[in-house]
Amino acid sequence: MHNKTISYYNKNAKEFAERTVNADMGFCYSKFIALLHNKDYIMDAGCGSGRDSKFFLEQGFNVQAIDASMEMCKFATEYIGIPVKCMRFDEIEFDSQFNGIWANASLLHIEKSGLPDILRKFNRALKFMFFCKVCIYEIKSYKIRLCSDFLVSWKCVKIVRKSYG
């Protein structure tokens, strides 16, 4: 992620959070949590305002929220009531800790050349045979052009397109 992007979110954290914190994501949540069990561990990768982390916590999941913007981390920590780690995706060093990874509209900030390494880090962070929810809007070089989501079973190395409508 470019420092310019992080600077943008640091500078505009309050406005961004206010714009997104109340968005209704129920149509996405139901598909993701159907694959998990109560008290499973979720990494909210690029948590922004903390909206999604808060929902998962309220549903009984354990959540580790991360974001690259210090100001977004401060907002999210206050909003969800648990510490949010300030880290970039390329700094992720988790090993088999999560049953699911939620990366909603956050990978779009990753340079195309860095995406394979980030996805390997996600893979390493996941426990065997669990799922990652990734929302990618457009990555032309990978010939992925969509406005929907993927549920990815990383340990199976299988990508399944799901509809959230």
Position 122 confidence tier, pLDDT thresholds 50, 70, 90: confident
> What is the C-alpha separation between 41 and 62, in angstroms, rounded?
5
- Residue 112's pLDDT is what? 76
Query: Would you state the pLDDT for residue 128?
Result: 65
- Global pTM reads 0.79
Residue 69 binned pLDDT confidence (cut-offs 50, 70, 90): very high
